[in-house]
Amino acid sequence: MRWINFSLPGSGRRAYGRLDDDDRVHEIRGIPWAGHELASASYKLSEVKIEVPVVPPTFYAAGLNYVTHIREQETLTGRKIDVPPQADIGYRAVNALIAHEENVVIPEDATHIEYEGELVVVIGKKARNVSEAEALQCIFGYTIGNDVSERAWQRSDRTFWRAKNCDTFKPMGPWIETGFDPARAETRVLVNGQVKSHFNTGDMLFGIATFISRMTRYLTLYPGDIVWMGTDGHSPKLAHGDTVDVDISGLGTLRNTFVRAAGNPLAGNS
Amino acid sequence: MRWINFSLPGSGRRAYGRLDDDDRVHEIRGIPWAGHELASASYKLSEVKIEVPVVPPTFYAAGLNYVTHIREQETLTGRKIDVPPQADIGYRAVNALIAHEENVVIPEDATHIEYEGELVVVIGKKARNVSEAEALQCIFGYTIGNDVSERAWQRSDRTFWRAKNCDTFKPMGPWIETGFDPARAETRVLVNGQVKSHFNTGDMLFGIATFISRMTRYLTLYPGDIVWMGTDGHSPKLAHGDTVDVDISGLGTLRNTFVRAAGNPLAGNS
């Protein structure tokens, strides 16, 4: 089943809806992973604006979780990167989330922008101290993320704050799919309609159950939390006007266009 | 002016209140930094449970921002740590926040727990591309944080997820003070009533205006966001039963007791 968060053009009101036949949005009152009931309104998908599917309490990201990607990052940074010996989760910032078909804005002083197409886990139940065998039970569903990265800042800065968390650097969506098997899926990333990366979504160094079990030994996962599972493959350098599709078979396609900022940054302040 | 977030024992309901004469809580409807009005109810401070003063959309932390602390971390880790050349912000996790007088739970397999007493900035207005001269205008007020850290995991893990973001590792409170000048304040940290660290709160490597101006060149700060400003001085190793007071002159005292978990962790899973 597919759930979208949407608004109606001209109205600030947001709601969740169930998406039927990839075309019809049946509005609900409440949220999909908690108490809710069907409302009377329904819309064509083309009539609504798709919003970020969930604004999480905490935004987790696996980071380095596919072996080929780690080797590519070594080449890119010129630094040896050890394959992580254990599933250590990281974080991204809620401020950076944008929806399907919203624009990624490239800061004026950014020099090297890349995509990272990722599977996103959406937590549906509070979870603490769960075993790997029971870990998947706290998942509500899955969506798609693009962990947009500025590689020069990733090398130069002490943290990933600018490299990965500038406003608009975290596209996520378009919807949450509850019936999905990562082991049988392929992730493909297209730039302007041309396939540039593809990998088996399930080829993770540490799987979803391993991460969730280990995380919940030390922390509580809450409904609405999201866990981005990392990426594989190579991104070309992106430029103004490029449209990036992250497509995961069985989930859908997250599409965003990259545009260069035309603002007035504070010169000399970096 | 002081604002607290509180609940009444036996009720799950939370509200904000204005604290008068350090003793009387006047409930308001709404939130202090947005539209609100005085409600009719008022309580003695001793009658209410003090809650986390704000659950932020994004939880920022300066990390290394006092020179003495950087030198101490070098000695502790045996690794050279360069003084940061620029104000690069980091992140902490919302899941880890607890209130004044709630217990910090030390995980069973933790071996080296320390405090870090910090000034916390609470954002009151949306801010993007603000100069240093105008940066402080987006601040609503200040509170106190304890950036509890497990130093062995800080050395061993690829990220700070366990070292700094276990459940209960981020005490914050007790209230938000709107009239406060960091340049004139002293931070003292006491363990079981004995002063163990003290430093001038304003002796930061990069000041609050510098951080806010630089951050908002790349991202939007939203009302309710928090920025923890880093710590100075040295913490002894903490043990079960220790009570830690972080006291900032003109702000108040954040008190929490540290207790060792008595749960059943998944043996051999780390």
What CATH number corresponds to the domain at position B145? 3.90.850.10
CA distance B220 to chain A (A): 7
Q: Is there a single domain that holds both residue B120 and residue B141? A: yes
Q: Residue B191 falls within a domain, yes or no?
A: yes
Residue B78 lies in a domain: yes
Residue A35 sits at the vertex; the CA angle it makes with A33 and A38, to the nearest 5 degrees, is 95
For B112-174, the DSSP string reads -EE--EEEEEEE-S-BSS--HHHHGGGEEEEEEEE--EEHHHHHHSSSSHHHHHSTT-EEEEE
Give the number of domains in chain B: 2
If asked whether residues A183 and A227 sit together in one domain, one would say yes
Rounded Cα–Cα distance for residues A51 and A14 (Å): 8
Picking from A64, A95, A129, the nearest residue to B263 by CB comes out as A129
Q: Chain B partners of A215 at a C-beta cutoff of 8 Å?
A: 161
A18 and A130 co-located in one domain: no
Scanning A11-50 for CB atoms below 8 A from B yields none
SS3 string, B175-229, reads EEECCCCHHHCEEEEEECCEEEEEEECCCCCCCHHHHHHHHCCCCCECCCCEEEC
Neighboring chain B residues of A167 at a CB cutoff of 8 Å: 128, 218-220
Query: Is B58 in CB contact (< 8 Å) with chain A?
Result: yes
Please report the pLDDT score of residue A137 as a whole number. Answer: 97
pLDDT confidence of residue B263: 59
Domain ranges, residue A155: 59-260
Residues B143 and B98 in one domain: yes
- Is A135 domain-assigned? yes
Secondary structure of B52-65 in HEC code, one letter for each residue = CCCCCCCEEECCCC
Let me know: does A107 contact A143? Beta carbons within 8 Å.
no
Please check whether residue A135 touches B, CB under 8 A.
no
At B69 the three-state DSSP class reads: helix
Residues A158, B84: C-beta atoms closer than 8 Å = yes
Q: What is the mean pLDDT of residues B217-235?
A: 96
pLDDT at B268: 36
Residues A96 and A21 in one domain: no
Test B219 with A165 for CB contact under 8 angstroms.
yes
Residue B120's nearest CA partner among B6, B30, B211 is B211
The verdict on B83 touching A (C-beta cutoff 8 Å) is: no
- For residue B141, pLDDT over 50 is answered with yes
Q: Does A265 reside within a domain? A: no
Note whether B34 and B82 are same-domain residues: no
Does A79 share its domain with A109? yes
Chain B residues close to A266, C-beta within 8 Å: 129, 131, 213, 217
For residues A36 and A65, membership in a common domain is answered with no
Q: Test B95 with A219 for CB contact under 8 angstroms.
A: yes
Q: Judge whether A33 lies within some domain.
A: yes
- B126 and B16, same structural domain? no
* Residues of chain B found within 8 Å of residue A158, distances taken between Cβ atoms: 63-64, 84, 88, 90
First to last CA, chain A: 46
For residue B268, count CB atoms less than 10 angstroms from its CB and return exposed for 0-12, middle for 13-18, buried for 19 or more.
exposed
Give the C-alpha separation, A118 to A66, whole Å: 11
In this structure, the answer to whether residues B17 and B141 fall within a common structural domain is no
pLDDT band at B82 (very low <50, low <70, confident <90, very high): confident
Q: What is the pLDDT of residues B6-47, one digit of tens each?
A: 999 888 899 999 999 889 999 999 999 998 999 999 999 999
A268: in domain: no
β-partners of residue B97 are B170
The answer, for B84 touching chain A at a CB cutoff of 8 Å, is yes
**Residue of chain B nearest A59, judged by CA positions:** B93
Q: How far apart are CA B96 and CA B148, in angstroms?
A: 10
Q: Which of A88, A131, A162 sits opposite B158 (nearest CB)?
A: A88
DSSP A250: T
Q: Tell me, what's the pLDDT at B73? A: 80
Q: Do A162 and B64 touch (CB under 8 A)?
A: no
Q: Show the tokens assigned to A98.
A: 């944008």
d(CA A143, CA B32): 35
Are B91 and B185 in the same domain?
Answer: yes
Q: Averaged over B201-210, what is the pLDDT?
A: 96
Q: Residues B80-100: what's their mean pLDDT?
A: 93
DSSP code for B12: -
What is chain A's pLDDT, residue by residue, as a tens digit (270 residues)? 999 999 998 888 999 999 998 899 999 999 999 989 999 999 999 999 999 999 999 999 998 899 888 888 888 778 888 888 999 999 999 999 999 999 999 999 999 999 999 999 999 999 999 999 999 999 999 999 999 999 999 999 999 999 999 999 999 999 999 999 999 999 999 999 999 999 999 999 999 999 999 999 999 999 999 999 999 988 999 999 999 999 999 999 999 999 999 854 443 333
One-letter amino acid at A34 equals A
Which residues share a beta bridge with A255?
A245
Distance from CA of B110 to the nearest CA of A (A): 10
Contact B218 A63 (CB under 8 A): no
Q: Do both A127 and A200 map to the same domain?
A: yes
Q: Choose the closest CB to B166 out of A58, A157, A219.
A: A219
Residue of chain B whose alpha carbon sits nearest to that of A86: B270
Q: Which of B88, B94, B158 minimises the CB distance to A158?
A: B88
* Res. B58: pLDDT tops 70: yes
How many whole angstroms separate alpha carbon B189 and alpha carbon B220?
32
Residue B10 lies in a domain: yes
Contact between A52 and A170 (Cβ < 8 Å) = no
Q: Report the alpha-carbon distance of residue A91 to residue A103 in Å, rounded.
A: 22
- Domain assignment of residue A28, yes or no: yes
What is the average pLDDT score of chain B?
A: 94
Q: Does B93 contact A91 at a Cβ distance shorter than 8 Å?
A: yes
Mean pLDDT of B157-165: 95
CA distance B215 to chain A (A): 8
Residue of B nearest to A158 (CA): B88
What is the helix, strand, coil percentage profile of chain A, to 5?
A: 15, 40, 45
Interface test with A, best of B91, B138, B150 (most A CBs within 10 A): B91
What value of ipTM does the predicted structure carry? Answer: 0.93
What is the Cα–Cα distance from B151 to B43, expressed in whole angstroms?
Answer: 41
Cis peptide bond upstream of A236, omega within 30: no
Q: What angle do CA B144, B147, B150 make, to 5 degrees?
A: 160
CATH of the domain at A27: 2.30.30.370
Question: Is the Cβ of B76 closer than 8 Å to some Cβ of chain A?
Answer: no
